[in-house]
Structure 1
């Protein structure tokens, strides 16, 4: 059984009298542990597809199953509870809470799970050291570079060990060197914890980190192929203070 199964997914937006087809009959299966890239230009429908898989938008037609659970008609409350258990996010704009330290930002998903403060702080520190931010534990987002903020975002996405991590243009605001570092960390983390990483990007260079590349064009799957990741030897992540 596939971890994610999309059947005949269609998404149509209505603007006044105009009908815009964002996705037209998408059928897709994604397996546990895949590093999967959804590649497409702006307006191709790739972010809409991610949002539907993550329950942030509802499809006009079709069905979605995640880990055998039909989530198609979930309410907002049901989706919120489901995401706490199954899904982590890495955002292009980092989406860190500006009044919280790096530790506190990373600990947020654990707080929603009801984990006690001492344990979630310990887990957050561990994750931050793994993404090479051992000397930024108490820094606020404004005291960190874009690359450092994105590392905090990666630590937050993986700290609760969700089966699925969605990354929407995670390197969009970063330079090429930092982009390579961030991609290396995300792919290594996903492989270390045997999690499914679904990456959305317009950048063909970033797509090369994936094991599978699904190309979207005008709301349809243009190509779906396996890929030999350019990350030949994922980093052996250990707690680091740099």
Structure 2
């Protein structure tokens, strides 16, 4: 199967005065369509930097990033914005909801940028909120909801335009254990239902175990790639020396 994401010789170096900090060091990576992947590693390992590169939020110092055969690192800001609207959804640890908008309005917002008329986008947003168990909270604002409910709104917003690729950056970092399980079950079930590619950043082994593929990042390098077999067993099929 041809990869939906292909990374070659990816390198990111930050300059702080005269000092160079290597955040990513010659990363090679392929992610297939419909695959659930976890970028796994401790704080400072480079996993969030890698996610930002894949999402086009930062430019690499060197290397190529192809998503659906498009060289993402070559796109300008306007082209990137259009590409993300059509292809990518985001789930953040901090929810990033607009506090003055209701759940329905927050979820419908990405559809505004696609030019969808109000009736259709509200219908789509309502369906998505019902799918994440918030059908009774359509007109509640973020401050009127728990952390778990706010993250469900964030998930509904990410999935509402059926993007082919979902990026989730520590999506359960602010949630308790019970809510974490609910949210992870929800994200992965929706992604699998619609054959979407899901890339999760996490430092939690239990979150990583939801993935088909676990990409362990350490000191800016891919340390190993593991493929999850059934019942959470992992089989290492690639390892960089």
Q: TM-score range by the shorter chain?
A: over 0.9
- More strand by proportion, 1 or 2? 2
1:224 equivalent to 2:187? Answer no
Deviation per residue, 1:157-183 (Å, 9 max, x gap)? 001000000000000000010000000
Name the structure 1 match of 2:64. 63
Q: Quick one: distance in 1 between partners of 2:77 and 2:99?
A: 26
> Once the 2 structures are TM-superposed, how far is the Cα of residue 69 of structure 1 from its aligned partner?
1.1
1:82 equivalent to 2:83? Answer yes
Name the structure 2 match of 1:160. 161
Name the structure 2 match of 1:240. none
- The verdict on how the C-alpha distance between 1:107 and 1:94 changes in structure 2, with shifts beyond 3 A counting, is same
Name the structure 1 match of 2:175. 174
After TM superposition, the runs of 4+ consecutive aligned structure 1 residues lying more than 6 A away are none
1:42 equivalent to 2:30? Answer no
CA contact under 8 A between 1:4 and 1:67: conserved in structure 2?
yes
Give me the TM-score of the superposition, normalised by structure 1.
0.94
> Once the 2 structures are TM-superposed, how far is the Cα of residue 229 of structure 1 from its aligned partner?
6.3
How many aligned residue pairs are there? 231
Q: Quick one: distance in 2 between partners of 1:34 and 1:88?
A: 15
Name the structure 2 match of 1:116. 117
Name the structure 1 match of 2:27. 26
Q: Quick one: distance in 1 between partners of 2:114 and 2:195?
A: 21
Q: CA RMSD in A?
A: 1.0
CA contact under 8 A between 1:211 and 1:229: conserved in structure 2?
no
CA contact under 8 A between 1:2 and 1:32: conserved in structure 2?
yes
> Once the 2 structures are TM-superposed, how far is the Cα of residue 67 of structure 1 from its aligned partner?
0.5
Give me the TM-score of the superposition, normalised by structure 2.
0.94
> Once the 2 structures are TM-superposed, how far is the Cα of residue 228 of structure 1 from its aligned partner?
3.4
Structure 2 unaligned spans of 5+: 233-241
